[in-house]
């Protein structure tokens, strides 16, 4: 086994920064043979690219992503680009014999996600998907609690991802263009909570019983005539006029879990007062858990088997490393707190561990796993548009029907 792992990153905006921070710090906090080396970053704008590479510690930079992918020195390709080009870049990297880690959702469309998964099945390299919230210690602990059987039979799941940055003042960034993003809040936010529910419960969502898809703000200001900034709030509209938003602002749906539990999902960019409320509750016969990312270092746990007079919710501080909380021992003394960026570092550590032949701290989504989330995303949109229930076939050869 090589003693170092040369990484090529494609993309330099919001996720490019998050991934760069992960590769920069993972070897400082985790035992990670092979050691990740920040070899090459690829981006479109040569002036911004040079500054990005210098700031974040990338040894080389290029505007030709394909050259980076095909470079024989590269071992792992990290894709942090808009959804519509995930498939082209991932398939090229797999065909070049690389390991590939891709941002979520896996792709902008179900057909692209299926093509990526098919390519991965034929390739030598391992695949990974940046569902980074699995690596938040509270979510990883929730997974362990449910898998231990502590909640018993599951009855209800409630999941929501609430943000408020998508108001009428937000210009037509790429996330509001369906040909680039694939969907709006649905693929961007709903993908996270679908994956979290699948991960924590260990069960698949087998049907969507009903859904609502809605676009509140249909016209948005253009930025220099096109979609510009990476994320809302980074640029204002110009006199270039207005453009059509072609994605959802909010999607809600009801589903059934494989074990019989009923589930509700809500994702929106117009939940005034919430900035990043990624949350779920799971209720079972013997107990319940609840999580809200806005209090990311806490997990709520209810033991229904406790004494009636003293029964109540327990708030678990998941930063206590000595208590066996996932990832906590790699970081700071008890109760010093972790942040959003640590989830990416935790995932980078698990990626390198798997490439090095070791097991991850918690299960890692590969392309095949992420395809299952993509099928649920697709089923919800079909249900909303056709106004009907949609069953989901999670067999390798299946899709939504």
Which residues, listed in sequence order, are joined to residue 322 by a DSSP beta bridge? none
Beta pairing, strands 390-391 & 262-268: unpaired
- Strand ranges of the sheet holding 99-102, from the earlier edge strand across to the other edge: 60-62, 35-42, 4-10, 76-79, 99-102, 127-129
Predicted confidence at residue 101, as pLDDT, reads 98
The answer to whether 136 touches 246, Cβ cutoff 8 Å, is: no
Residues of the chain with pLDDT below 70 are 1, 224-240, 396-401
CA 274 to CA 277: how far, in whole Å?
Answer: 6
Predicted confidence at residue 234, as pLDDT, reads 39
3-state helix, strand, coil in the chain (%, to 5): 35, 25, 40
Residue-range domains of the chain with CATH: 4-133 (3.40.50.720), 134-339+346-369+371-383 (3.30.360.10)
pLDDT tens-place string over residues 131-174: 999 999 999 999 999 999 999 999 999 999 999 999 999 999 99
pLDDT tens-place string over residues 315-360: 999 999 888 899 999 999 999 999 999 999 999 999 999 999 999 9
Predicted confidence at residue 400, as pLDDT, reads 39
Predicted confidence at residue 395, as pLDDT, reads 79
Predicted confidence at residue 235, as pLDDT, reads 42
Query: Taking the model in full, what pTM does it have?
Result: 0.94
What is the token pair recorded at 40?
A: 């090459």
CB hemisphere CA count around 115 (13 angstroms): 16
Predicted confidence at residue 396, as pLDDT, reads 66
Predicted confidence at residue 53, as pLDDT, reads 98
Dihedral over Cα of 78, 81, 84, 89: its sign: negative
DSSP result, 243-277 = EE--S-SEEEEEEEETTS-EEEEEEES--TT-SSE
């Amino acid at each position: 086994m090589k003693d170092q792992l040369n990484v090529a990153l494609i993309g330099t905006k919001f996720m490019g920064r998050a991934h760069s921070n992960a590769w920069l710090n993972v070897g400082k906090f985790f035992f990670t043979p092979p050691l990740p080396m920040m070899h090459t970053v690829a981006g479109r704008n040569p002036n911004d690219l040079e500054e990005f590479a210098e700031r974040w510690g990338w040894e080389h930079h290029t505007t030709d992503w394909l050259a980076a992918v095909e470079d024989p020195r590269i071992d792992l390709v990290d894709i942090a680009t808009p959804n519509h080009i995930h498939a082209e870049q991932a398939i090229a990297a797999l065909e070049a014999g690389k390991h590939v880690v891709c941002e979520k959702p896996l792709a902008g469309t179900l057909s692209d996600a299926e093509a990526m998964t098919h390519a991965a099945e034929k390739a030598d390299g391992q695949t990974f998907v940046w569902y980074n919230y699995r690596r938040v210690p509270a979510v990883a602990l929730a997974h362990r609690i449910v898998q231990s059987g502590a909640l018993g039979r599951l009855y209800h799941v409630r999941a929501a991802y609430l943000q408020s940055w998508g108001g009428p003042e937000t210009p037509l960034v790429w996330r509001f263009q369906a040909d680039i993003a694939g969907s709006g809040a649905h693929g961007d936010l709903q993908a996270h909570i679908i994956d979290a529910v699948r991960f924590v419960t260990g069960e698949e969502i087998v049907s969507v019983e009903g859904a609502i898809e809605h676009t509140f703000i249909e016209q948005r200001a253009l930025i220099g005539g096109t979609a510009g900034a990476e994320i809302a709030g980074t640029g204002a509209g110009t006199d270039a006029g207005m453009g059509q938003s072609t994605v959802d602002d909010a999607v809600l749906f009801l589903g059934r879990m494989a074990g019989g539990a009923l589930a509700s999902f809500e994702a929106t960019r117009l939940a005034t007062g919430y900035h990043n409320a990624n949350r779920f509750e799971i209720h079972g016969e013997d107990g319940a858990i609840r999580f809200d990312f806005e209090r990311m270092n806490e997990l709520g746990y209810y033991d229904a088997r406790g004494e009636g007079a003293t029964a109540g919710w327990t708030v678990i501080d998941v930063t206590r490393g000595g208590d066996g909380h996932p990832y906590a021992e790699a970081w700071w003394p008890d109760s010093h707190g972790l942040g959003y960026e640590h989830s990416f570092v935790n995932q980078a550590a698990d990626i390198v561990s798997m490439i090095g032949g070791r097991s991850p701290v918690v299960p890692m989504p590969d392309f095949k796993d992420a395809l299952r989330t993509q099928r649920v995303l697709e089923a919800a949109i079909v249900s909303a548009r056709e106004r009907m229930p949609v069953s989901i076939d999670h067999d390798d050869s299946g899709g939504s029907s």
